[in-house]
Structure 1
Amino acid sequence: MVIKNKIGQWGIHIFFWLFTIGSLLPFVLIFMVSISDETSIELNGYSLFPSKISFAAYQFLFFDFTEIARAYGVTILCTILGTLLSLFITTLLAYPLSRMELPFRRSLSFFIFFTMVFSGGMVPWYMTFVTLFAMKNTLLAMIIPGMLLSAFNVLLMRSFFSNSIPESVIESATMDGASEFHIFYKIIVPLSLPIMATIGLFTTLAYWNDWYNCMLFIDKPTLYNIQYLMTKTLTNIQYLIMKSNTSAQAGELLAKMPRETVRMALAIIGIGPLLLAYPFFQKYYISGITSGAVKG
C-alpha cells in the first residue's frame, strides 16, 4: 500500500512537472527567437537553440529609448491608478450587496448582472466619454472607459464577502459599537486580502494589456501606452512588408530590418513585467478564486 501511494505521488509530480515544462516552452521559444539572427530564422525556422545569437530586434525597438520609456511610464501610471481606483470602487459596491439587510439588494445585483449581457452600443459609449466628459487625449481615457468597474469582479467579490466572512463577526463588532466604516476598514478589508489580490491581478492584466482605449481616445504620441506603441510598430512592419512588393525603397529598408525576431521581441517587452510580478500574487490568486467561486 505504501509503495502504491509513493508511485501515485511520483506519478502526480511527474505529470505536473511535464505540464509546467510544456506551459513554459512557448515563452522560452518566444524569447529564443527574439534573440536569434533574422537570417537564421529565414533559413532554419524557429528553434529553441538558435544557431546565431543577435540582439538586433531589441536594438531596433529601443533605437528611440525615450519613446519606449515614456510609453512604459504611461502604462505603469495608468495601471497603478486604475487598479487602485477599481479595487476601491469594486469593494465599496460589493460589500453592501453582500449584506442581507441592504434594501433592494437583489434588484441592484440584477442591475449589475444586466450590464454584463447588454450595453448601450459602441457609438453612444464613445460619444459619452468624448463629448459629455471630454476625455479625449487624457490619461483618464485609458483608466475609466470599460475597465474602471467590472460587473464580473463585483459579483465575484460579493460572493466572497457572503460566503467567506462570518456574519457573526460583523454582528459582534456592531454590538461593540463599531460603525459601518470601522467594520469595513478594520475587519472586512484585512479578511479580504485574497479576493482583493485576485481582483487586483485581473484588473492589472486588463490595464497593462489595453491598447483599444488608447487607439480610440488618444491622438497624441506622447500619451501612447506601451501596448499601443508596440501595436503601431508591428503594423508599420506589416505595412512595409506589403509595400516591399511594389516599392524598391521599401524593399531595401525591409531587407535591413529584423521582422520575425521583432514580433517576438514585442511579445517579450509586453508580457515580461507581468511574468515577473505574477509569482508574488499567485497564492492570493488561488485562494481568492476558490473562495469566491462558492455559490453566491
Structure 2
Amino acid sequence: MMRNKSLPQMVMYGVVSFYTICCILPMLLVLMVSFTDEDTISRNGYSLWPEKLSVYAYKLIFNGGSSVLRSYMISTSVTVIGTCLALLITAMAAYTLSNKSVKFRNALALYFFITMIFSAGIVPWYLICKTLHLTNNIFSLIVPGLLFSPFNLFLMRNFMNGIPDALRESATIDGANDLTIAFRIYLPLCTPVLATVALFYGLDYWNDWWNAIMLVDNKALYPLQYLLFALKSQISMLNELKTLSGGDQDVTLPSESVKMATAIVTIGPIVLLYPYLQKYFVKGLIIGSVKG
C-alpha cells in the first residue's frame, strides 16, 4: 500500500508516526517504572526494561483498600455532578450572550472577559466559601468549580453564533420560549462544543486537589488526587527521616515507583474517556474558535 502513496503522504505518515511514538514512550516508561523495584530505580534509574519487577508501590497505594476506593468514588461523583452542572450553567450563559435580542449582551461579555485577566485573590475566595458554609462537605468540592471558565463560555458562545438566527426566529413565531429554543434546538446542534467543554470541566474536577486542601479537613471526603498527594508526601517524609536518623537502610520505601503508580492510577479514567470524545473535541475546538 505504501507504493501507492505519494512522497508528501509518506512524509506526513512518518512525522505522525514519530510523534505518536514520542507520546507513547513516556507513558510506557511511567507504567514500567511503577512496576519496578525501588532499589533498581536507585541503582539504574528509569528504564523501559527493569531488572526486577515489583508491585509493592501499588500494594502501598491500595493498602487498606477502603480509603482509595472511597476517594475514587468521591472523585467520580464530584466529576460527574460538577461537570454536568458547570456545563449546564455555561451553556445557558453562552446562549444568553449569543441571543441578539438580549440587551447589553456585549457589556455582559466584557464583564466575563475581565475575569480572565484580573482575579480577586485567594483570601476573598476563601471568605466567600466560608460564608456559604462550603467547608468539610461534598459541596465544597463541587460548588467552587461551578464558577465557569470564561474561556469555555466564549468557546461555546462563538459556536452558537454560527447557528442561523432564522432557527430562533422560526421557533419564536411558533410560540416557543427561550428554554424550549435552547434545549430543543440549540443544545442538540452544539454537541461537538458541549463534548469539548465537558472534557475541559471533567479534567478540572478530576485533577482538582486545591479545593480539598483549602476547604476539607475530613479524611473521609478526600478526593483521589489529594489522598495520593498526601500519601506521596508521607512517603517522602519517612524516607528523609530514615536517612537523617540513620535507620534501617535495608528497608526502602518506594518513593519513585509510588509517584509513577500514582500517575497511572489517576489518569486511567481520563485515558479511557478521551477516545470517545475525541471526534467531538477536535470539531468543537475548530468551529468554536473561528466562528462568531
Return the TM-score normalized by structure 1: 0.93
Correspondences of 1:77-226 after superposition (within 5 Å): 77-130=77-130, 132-163=131-162, 165-226=163-224
Q: CA deviation at 1:259?
A: 1.9
Q: 1:245 to 1:51 in 2, by over 3 A?
A: closer
Contact 1:93/1:154 (<8 A) preserved: yes
Residue in structure 1 matching 2:263, options 254, 261, 267: 267
Q: Percent identity between the aligned chains? A: 40
Residue 143 of structure 1 aligns with an amino acid whose one-letter code is: I
Q: Which residue of 2 aligns with 1:240?
A: 238
Q: Is the aligned partner of 1:277 residue 2:269? A: no
Is 1:227 aligned to residue 225 of structure 2? yes
Deviation at 1:255, TM superposition (A): 2.2
CA contact (8 A) 1:85 1:148 kept: no
Structure 2: where are the runs of 5+ without partners? Answer: none
Task: Indicate if the aligned counterparts of 1:241 and 1:254 stay in contact, CA closer than 8 A.
Answer: no
* C-alpha contact (below 8 Å) 1:87/1:200 kept by paired residues: yes
What is the SS of the residue equivalent to 1:31?
helix
Paired letter, 2:20: T
Q: How many Å separate the matches in 2 of 1:161 and 1:254?
A: 63
Query: Deviation digits for residues 146-205 of structure 1, max 9, x if unmatched?
Result: 454111111111111012x11122222223332222211111111001000000000000
* SS state at 1:40 partner: helix
Could you tell me which amino acid in structure 1 is paired with residue 122 of structure 2? Answer: M
**RMSD between superposed Cα atoms in Å:** 1.7
2:285 is aligned to 289
Aligned to 2:57: 57
Q: 1:244, 1:254 within 8 Å by CA — same for their partners in 2?
A: no
- More displaced stretch, 143-152 vs 89-98: 143-152
State the distance in 1 between where 2:33 and 2:69 align. Answer: 23
TM-score by length of 2: 0.95
Q: Which moved more, 1:175-184 or 1:148-157?
A: 175-184
Q: Following the alignment from structure 1 to structure 2, what is the Cα–Cα distance between the partners of residues 80 and 10?
A: 42
Tell me the amino acid that sits aligned with residue 285 of structure 1: F
- Secondary structure of 2:168's counterpart equals helix
Q: Please say if residues 152 and 197 of structure 2, whose CA atoms lie closer than 8 Å, have aligned partners that are also in contact.
A: yes
1:147–1:203 Cα contact (<8 Å) kept: no
2:249, 2:175 → 1: CA distance?
74
